[in-house]
Amino acid sequence: EKLAEMLELHNFQLTQFYGVEAVKFEDVLALCNQWREVLAPLVIDVTKVLHDYRKEGKAVMFEGAQGSLLDIDHGTYPYVTSSNTTAGGVSSGSGMGPLHLDYVLGITKAYTTRVGAGPFPTELVYDAASDSGDPIGKHLGTVGHEFGASTGRQRRCGWFDAEILRRSVDVNSLSGICLTKLDVLDGLEEVKICVGYENTDSGCVGSSDAVSFECL
């Protein structure tokens, strides 16, 4: 019944908007049944499997993608992704309750990067296309290979931001930190670290203002 309803809608679009022939119900049903045989054995209750592993004493590691400040609730909105990238996303995404998470490891670079628009207080602006801008920004991007693996998109680079890290430690309740890409800083005569922000109107501001781009 669901397939018939879907085909009624899509066939209307195919014939009325695109001027092509309608798709036959029997053909689509046969294709669905064919793929059902392939996909059905792969469908499981992931949450149950994870808890079975836990009860058996097995170790389970969850790996997150994207930075904490891209989190839809705790990031630099609206310059965020559409999901929870912070540690809390483990529980909501897997069904493994917070009490069963023994250790939260934060991964951070020895400098800061960002893809796309959004606030970036320590940015060293450099444009790879025109080879113009800050020489240290160029160094970080080139030596650190800061380009998207699949898209080749240039990442924005800047100095290490301790305020943002403090915010991330709080939001994720980190147990420890893994600092990566220290070797990228090798060769620089000077290495700077952002320890706080200063607003021209109100003076110093804390990490709570790190995600409020109007203050920067």
Low-confidence ranges of the chain (pLDDT < 70): 199-216
Residues 108-126 as b/e (b if ≥16 CB within 10 A, e otherwise) read: bbbbbbbbeebbbbbbbeb
Distance CA 21, CA 58 (A): 54
Whether the pTM exceeds 0.75: the reply is yes
State the alpha helices, DSSP H only, in 76-210.
88-94, 135-143, 162-172
pLDDT of residue 200: 54
pLDDT of residue 105: 98
Burial of 35 (0-12, 13-18, 19+ CB in 10 A): exposed
pLDDT of residue 216: 46
128-184, pLDDT tens digit by residue? 999 999 999 999 999 999 998 888 899 999 999 999 999 999 999 999 999 999 999
Question: Closest Cα to residue 211, out of 174, 173, 168, 160?
Answer: 168
- CATH number of 63-215: 3.30.110, 1.10.3470, 3.90.170, 3.10.450? 3.90.170
Distance CA 111, CA 192 (A): 9
pLDDT of residue 151: 87
State the first-to-last Cα distance of the chain, in angstroms, to the nearest integer.
55
Q: Where are the domains of the chain?
A: 2-42, 63-215
